[in-house]
Amino acid sequence: MFRSFLAAVLFAVALSRVLPAQQPSVGASRLAEALTNSPVQAALAAVDASESRAVQTLIALGSIVSPSGHEQERAKWVAERMRAIGL
């Protein structure tokens, strides 16, 4: 999922370089440069590796019934998870 987003961003950056009427923005250039950085690539790989766990966490969180004004159970679950990881 994240890789698809990243591919779209990179495509937009590449496209902006071939269109004569549009110059790549400073932000796009910096992003493209950052994506070639080894630590950034390692961080993206770590994000990709944790995607399944993140999806399962979001499913668990979304499964807790919490109508507006009654989010205590969901908040309790989040607080427990945060304590479990040392936050």
Q: Are residues 4 and 42 in the same domain?
A: yes
Give the global pTM. Answer: 0.52
In angstroms, the CA 24 to CA 21 distance is: 10
pLDDT digits (tens, 9 = 90+) for 33-67: 888 888 889 988 998 899 899 999 999 999 999 88
Q: Are residues 23 and 64 in the same domain?
A: no
Q: Are residues 29 and 10 in the same domain?
A: yes
Residues listed for the chain? 87
Q: Are residues 61 and 80 in the same domain?
A: yes
Q: Are residues 61 and 39 in the same domain?
A: no
Which pLDDT does position 24 carry in this prediction? 63
Q: Are residues 39 and 73 in the same domain?
A: no
CA geometry: angle 30, 31, 37, nearest 5 deg: 90
- Residue 74 is part of which domain span? 51-87
Q: Are residues 4 and 45 in the same domain?
A: yes
Number of domains comprising the chain: 2
